[in-house]
Amino acid sequence: FFKISFCRYFDCIDICKVRSAGWNEVRLQGTLPPLSSVDHISCVLLTVLEPTEAEFSLFQEGQRNSEKSQRSQLDLCVVVFRTRSAAIPSIGRLVEHSKRQVRGFVGCHKMLESDLYIVVCLAFNHWHTGIENPVNFPEYVLAIHSSKRLLVEQISPPAYILADAIISLTLAKGQRHEGREGMTAFYLTKGWAGLVVMVENRHENKWIHVKCDCQESYNVVSTRGELRTVDSVPPLH
């Protein structure tokens, strides 16, 4: 037995959960590219054959060596959706998600019914930071623990998976604001280290002009590359 100052020698301590015998574990590796690229993004198709308890843990690369310590930690989030088809998977109803946090790992827990699911790993605060070589894209490990056996397959994502995932998450968890007739704005902030703004246009023949100005904000990384954006939302979008 010895005693040392954790605060002096460690900047992060991870406590591992221990499960009883009989649980299953799958670990998958992937990259978190600083752009929306189906060539470098992957997602996980999950087939649940019988009801099971499941835990999802998303880990990013450690920061201990001198080279990687120059890189800021990413804002991690892991999201689980239902999907209708294994042949043509797409984002369906939100099932569960972790908080979006800037830390070494995030996770979530859910009882899953027999069905098909798609798991998406997200990170955004390294976008527009000048990382261009795919060799330098940050890597992650996704650990899936389950009380019953699962069929797990890492697949190429459907087109627009990041946009579809964020839209589905914002619709399910965001604050709803009826700004004017035919228009609804959704704001995702709770449990989300940042801000997502989504505008729905229900007009059949009118466009909606949307301006978002964050130029006076601090510590903001815009996925659009600009702190002031202007958009025109078409009818029925």
3-state secondary structure 140-169: EEEEEEECCCEEEEEECCCCCHHHHHHHHH
Alpha-carbon torsion (34, 38, 40, 42), positive or negative: positive
Residue range 156-172: average pLDDT?
A: 92
What average pLDDT score do residues 3-22 get?
71
Using DSSP bridges, classify how beta strands 75-82 and 52-60 pair: parallel, antiparallel or unpaired: unpaired
- Residue 13 lies inside a defined structural domain of this protein: no
DSSP 24-84: EEEEEEEE--SS--TTT--EEEEEESS-EEEEEEEEE----STTGGGSPPPEEEEEEEE-S
1 located within any domain: no
Q: Lowest mean pLDDT: which of 28-37, 49-58, 90-99, 199-208?
A: 28-37
Is residue 174 classed as helix, strand or coil in its secondary structure?
coil
Q: Which residue has the higher pLDDT, 16 or 143?
A: 143
Whether 58 and 79 have beta carbons less than 8 Å apart is answered as no
What pLDDT was estimated at residue 45? 96
Please state whether beta strands 24-31 and 105-112 pair in parallel, antiparallel, or not at all (unpaired).
Answer: unpaired
Q: Which domain-ending residue is among 159, 193, 209? A: 159
More confident residue, 72 or 99: 99
Which of 103, 127, 159 is at the close of a domain? Answer: 159
pLDDT at 219: 75
Q: Which two tokens stand for residue 23?
A: 């649980």
94 — pLDDT class (breaks 50, 70, 90): very high
140 and 224 housed in the same domain: no
Res 188 pLDDT > 50: yes
Question: For residue 102, what are the domain limits?
Answer: 19-159
Q: What is the mean pLDDT of residues 189-195?
A: 83
228 in any annotated domain: yes
- pLDDT given for residue 70 in this prediction: 59
Instruction: For residue 39, give the CATH number of its domain.
Output: 2.60.120.380
pLDDT in tens, 43-60: 999 999 999 999 999 999
Is residue 6, in this structure, part of any structural domain at all? no
Rounded average pLDDT over 98-122? 94
Query: How many structural domains does the chain have?
Result: 2
- Tell whether 10 is covered by a domain: no
Q: Which of the four pLDDT bands, split at 50, 70 and 90, describes residue 66?
A: very low
Does residue 159 surpass a pLDDT of 70? yes
pLDDT-based confidence at residue 3 (cuts at 50, 70, 90):
low
- Decide which of 169 and 220 is more confident: 169
178 in Cβ contact with 93 (< 8 Å): no
| Residue (of 32, 17, 10, 188) closest to 122 by Cα position | 32
Q: Residues 27, 136: one domain? A: yes
User: What's the rounded Cα separation, in Å, for the pair 235 and 4?
Assistant: 63
d(CA 80, CA 91): 9
How far apart (Å, rounded) are the C-alpha atoms in residues 225 and 199? Answer: 19
User: Average model confidence (pLDDT) for the chain?
Assistant: 88
99 within 8 A of 79, measured Cβ to Cβ: no
Q: Are residues 36 and 102 in the same domain?
A: yes
Q: How confident is the model at residue 167 (pLDDT cuts 50, 70, 90)?
A: very high
